[in-house]
Chain A
Amino acid sequence: MQQIDLDLQQIFLESASEVLETMFFTGIESEGPSELRSAEFSAELVFRGIPSGRFGVQVPVETGEQIAANFLGAEEVTSAQVDEVLCELCNMLCGSVLSRLATGARFELLHPEIDRNNLSWYDRPHAIGYTFGLEEGAITLWMVLDQSRLAVPAA
C-alpha cells in the first residue's frame, strides 16, 4: 500500500493549469495566497471509491462569466450557462486532481451541483483549499478527503 501524496497545493496548481489552459482558454497567473472572501459561483461534487470525499470550485461572478464565455465561445452568457460550465469545470478538475493524487486510484464522480448557499470552503470541516490568480480573476479549489480511506493500492 502507498499513501496518497497530500501535497495538494501543487496538485491543485497542476490540475487547474492543465484543465483551464486546455479547455477554458485561460491560465493560472499566480499562486498567490489570496483567498476568496465572497465566492459568487460555487460547484461541488462527491467522489466515491479509493479515495472518497468531496471536491469543489469557487469563483467570483466575473471570473465565472468569463470562463463560461471562453468555454462556450460566446460573448455573453446567462447565469444558467455559467452554472453548467462551472459544474463541468468542477468535474474535470476533480478527475484531474484524483488521478494525480494517487496513481491507480479507483473512484466514481457523482454529478456536480451548484451550491446555492455559496458556503465558503474554509467553513467546511477538514477542508483544504487554495486560491489561484487567473487572467480573469481568481479560482479556488478545495477538497475534503474521507480520512478513513486514504490508503490506496500500489500501482
Chain B
Amino acid sequence: MAFRVLIVDDSPAMRSFVKRVLELSGFEMGACLEAGDGSEALRLLNQEWVDVILTDINMPVMNGEEFVQRVSQNDLLRNVPILVVSTDRTEDRVRRMMALGAKGYVKKPFQPEELREKLEQVLGVAYATN
C-alpha cells in the first residue's frame, strides 16, 4: 500500500528534504502533497485525501498549533494522523501538540529511520524494509 502524504512547512528546502528522506527510507509513499502553512494545507485537504500529515509548528499565516487544532476539530479530517516535525524540543511543546490532536512528534534534527518509524507508529502499520 502506498500512502498519500501531506508535508506542511514554510521552508521549501525542508519540504524537499523530508520528501527525499521518506523516499530513501523505504517508506511506501504514493502522492506527496506540499503546503507552505496551515491555511494552505486546509485548502488542499478540502480537495485531496491524504493518509498522513507531517507538519512544522513555526509557520506564517497559520501556525502548526492552529492547523492541528483545526484538523482535529474537523469531522472529515480528524482521523488523519498528524506527525509534528519541529525544532522545538521542549516537553511543554510536545505535550501541547499531542493534546491538540497530533499523534506523534519528531524533533529536528532526525535520522531518516526515526522519521520512518514515527510514521509507522502513527499510521499503525508495519511494512518491510529493503
**A138-B127 Cα distance, complex, nearest whole Å:** 40
- Pair A95/B88 contact, Cβ less than 8 Å: yes
- Pair B87/A106 contact, Cβ less than 8 Å: no
- Pair B108/A92 contact, Cβ less than 8 Å: yes
Other-chain residue from A85, A99, A111 in contact with B60 (beta carbon distance below 8 A): A111
Chain A nearest CB, measured from B53 CB (Å): 20
Residue of A nearest to B60 (CB): A111
Q: Using known A-B contacts A22-B110, A22-B111, A23-B109, determine if residue A107 contacts B90 with beta carbons closer than 8 Å.
A: yes
- Pair B87/A94 contact, Cβ less than 8 Å: yes
Q: Using known A-B contacts A23-B110, A71-B17, determine if residue A106 contacts B12 with beta carbons closer than 8 Å.
A: no
Instruction: Give B29-74 interface residues, CB cut-off 8 Å to A.
Output: 58, 60
Residues of B within 8 A of A18 (CB): 109
- Pair A72/B87 contact, Cβ less than 8 Å: no
**A42-B51 Cα distance, complex, nearest whole Å:** 38
**A68-B17 Cα distance, complex, nearest whole Å:** 10
Interface band, chain A: 20 to 34
Interface residues on chain B, number (Cβ under 8 Å): 21
Chain B nearest CB, measured from A89 CB (Å): 9
Contact with B along A12-29 (1 / 0, CB 8 A): 000000110011000000
B78 within 8 A of A: no
- Pair A84/B11 contact, Cβ less than 8 Å: yes
6 of the cross-chain contacts (CB-CB < 8 Å) are: A19-B109, A23-B108, A71-B13, A81-B13, A99-B90, A111-B10
Give the top 7 A-B pairs by smallest Cβ distance, nearest first: A95-B87, A22-B109, A84-B13, A23-B109, A99-B89, A85-B13, A19-B109
